[in-house]
Structure 1
Amino acid sequence: MDNSLLENKSPLKFFLLVLLLSIPFWILGAMAGDLTKILPIKLPISALTTFCPLLAATILVYKQREMQGVKELLKLSFDFKKIKNKKWYIPIVFVMPVIAVLSYWYMKMTGATLPEPQTPLLFAFISFFIFLIAAIGEEVGWSGYAIDPMQNKWGALKASIILGLVWAIWHIIPYSQAHHTPIWIVWQCISTVFLRVIIVWIYNNTVKSVFATILFHAMINVSTFMFPNYGSHYNPFVGAIFIIMTVVIVVFFWGTKTLARYRYT
């Protein structure tokens, strides 16, 4: 969508609409249990809220520009041609797997009892495409609609933290319905906030490619659920340590205003 639409986007309306659209799924999640009957991973029914940001953005864009705007919005899902510097596929694809491996090694070295990692190739392949579709449902909204007007107002780092807080709060009910402990949820929310900084960093350095954020978002979930026993031994506290370290490196080298001005260029 063209930059002239930025002034007409309302992140606040978007957030409220995402919340409103999510409520039925949260209620259903409280009543219907989880998805473990059809998936081996620990997900509640309320995880289906993943498509609410896409739906909210579609509704708001349709009100503004009708079907032409909606078509432009949906095209953002596959705007990979914006990624002119193909080197950016390295952090997009590998940052989260590296963090997952480092987390596993740290936990092993500090005495945690962990099974040997097993990665069924078929499960990895299927889960990647499931999480890629789910990431489209989120990132077309978060990155395709909400982040740009926020960056224009507050700068990249502050905007990404604010959006990260909204993103984390939105996840609390699904985390709870997945029967995680309060301390697990707290650390996962902290990880979520800092992950949004990395996502905005990738977005801004790939000429604002929503596809780049979708692919990275999918790798977040794949890396988590590739942890031993489909993510059951994943520790968000340990993950947060390495995610925060990554953000510190990003901010040091790329700055806070745009997260895209590499200091040694």
Structure 2
Amino acid sequence: MDNSVPENKSPLKFFLLVFLLSIPFWILGAMAGDLTKILPIKLPISALMTFCPLLAATILVYKERKVSGVKELLKRAFDHKKIKDKIWYIPIIFLIPGITLMSYWFMQITGATLPEPQTPLLFAFISFFIFLIAAIGEEVGWSGYAIDPMQNKWGALKASIILGLVWAIWHIIPYSQAHQTPIWILWQSISTVFLRVIIVWIYNNTVKSVFATILFHAMINVSLFMFPNYGSHYNSFVGAIFIILTVVIVVFFWGTKTLARYRYT
């Protein structure tokens, strides 16, 4: 049993609190513009809501178990020792970059006009650590608090889709404030839902390591902003197709109930 969070934790309360805590950032994003004035990447001010899931989980855990519960929750961000089978670092680190590269090649083959990828080493290094910290702000909440009671109730696939829908809806306002088109937001939201399935698959196969989900989450953002011109040429439809195909393969081989029962073991 995982003693890091209270057994009677409520995903619904968590979701409501996350959205409530995010409102000031959405308002600030509407008033203050975006971060492109100081950063080359296309991010709105509302992207700073990334720490709201961590804050929401911390508040709820503190109400149940005080400081000791919060300490256990925060420790989960660094539970890399749970990843006993090191082969899982391959999908954790390389799966999303691989999907992004295939999306780029597909766009080239189908005639899309794309600039040559430019990946300044310093930018890649700095962005990785920025996105790693941001991923801690999200995954301690989504994976460290919310997903387990949802899996216990609905099973891994259904729970990950429901959580993915919440995750996608939570991102809609920042996507809009980043001046993305409605069709781009639609397909990126679909990608977000299916990416959560992949995250839960990784989580369940690494003995529920939140660190694994944090690292994978960071690689999602790094890969997106390594796309030509800091992600400005990223086609969310193409990306969604490759992500959906990946989820179909995962579900076929690992099943729907736990996403962790490899059928050929």
Q: TM-score, normalised by structure 1?
A: 0.99
CA contact 2:5–2:72 (8 Å) conserved in 1: no
Corresponding position of 1:238: 238
Cα distance between partner residues in 1 of 2:197 and 2:38: 33
- The one-letter code sitting in structure 1 at the alignment partner of 2:114 is L
Corresponding position of 2:81: 81
Cα distance between partner residues in 1 of 2:161 and 2:246: 15
Corresponding position of 2:55: 55
- Pick closer, same or farther for the CA change 1:232–1:104 going to 2, 3 Å: same
Corresponding position of 1:16: 16
- List runs of 5+ in structure 2 lacking aligned partners: none
Cα distance between partner residues in 1 of 2:223 and 2:90: 15
Q: Secondary structure at the match of 1:8?
A: coil
Corresponding position of 2:161: 161
Please tell me whether residue 212 in structure 1 is matched to residue 212 in structure 2.
yes
Task: Summarize deviations over 1:205-246 as a string: whole Å, max 9, x none.
Answer: 000000000000000000000000000100110000100000
Cα distance between partner residues in 2 of 1:184 and 1:68: 43
Structure 1: which 4+ aligned runs deviate by more than 6 Å? Answer: none
Aligned residues: 265
Corresponding position of 2:97: 97
- How far apart are 1:5 and its partner, in Å? 4.9
1:100-179 matches, cutoff 5 A: 100-179=100-179
CA RMSD of aligned residues (A): 1.0
- How far apart are 1:2 and its partner, in Å? 2.6
Corresponding position of 1:45: 45
Cα distance between partner residues in 1 of 2:7 and 2:41: 41
- Pick closer, same or farther for the CA change 1:239–1:2 going to 2, 3 Å: same
Q: Secondary structure at the match of 2:35?
A: coil
Corresponding position of 1:190: 190
- Pick closer, same or farther for the CA change 1:138–1:4 going to 2, 3 Å: closer
Cα distance between partner residues in 2 of 1:94 and 1:50: 23
- The one-letter code sitting in structure 2 at the alignment partner of 1:94 is F
Q: TM-score, normalised by structure 2?
A: 0.99
CA contact 1:6–1:148 (8 Å) conserved in 2: no
- The one-letter code sitting in structure 2 at the alignment partner of 1:83 is I
- List runs of 5+ in structure 1 lacking aligned partners: none
- Pick closer, same or farther for the CA change 1:101–1:91 going to 2, 3 Å: same
CA contact 2:144–2:210 (8 Å) conserved in 1: yes
- The one-letter code sitting in structure 2 at the alignment partner of 1:12 is L
Cα distance between partner residues in 1 of 2:235 and 2:9: 37
Identity %: 89
Cα distance between partner residues in 2 of 1:48 and 1:5: 25
Cα distance between partner residues in 2 of 1:96 and 1:149: 27
- Pick closer, same or farther for the CA change 1:154–1:109 going to 2, 3 Å: same
Task: Summarize deviations over 1:139-190 as a string: whole Å, max 9, x none.
Answer: 0000000000000000000000000000000000000000000000000000
- The one-letter code sitting in structure 1 at the alignment partner of 2:131 is F
- How far apart are 1:39 and its partner, in Å? 1.1
CA contact 1:6–1:149 (8 Å) conserved in 2: no
Task: Summarize deviations over 1:19-42 as a string: whole Å, max 9, x none.
Answer: 000000000000000011221100
- The one-letter code sitting in structure 2 at the alignment partner of 1:206 is T
- The one-letter code sitting in structure 1 at the alignment partner of 2:60 is L
Corresponding position of 1:203: 203
- The one-letter code sitting in structure 2 at the alignment partner of 1:7 is E
Task: Summarize deviations over 1:47-105 as a string: whole Å, max 9, x none.
Answer: 00100000000000000000000000110110000000000000000000000100000
Q: Secondary structure at the match of 1:212?
A: helix
- The one-letter code sitting in structure 2 at the alignment partner of 1:170 is W
Cα distance between partner residues in 2 of 1:64 and 1:224: 38
Cα distance between partner residues in 2 of 1:31 and 1:156: 39
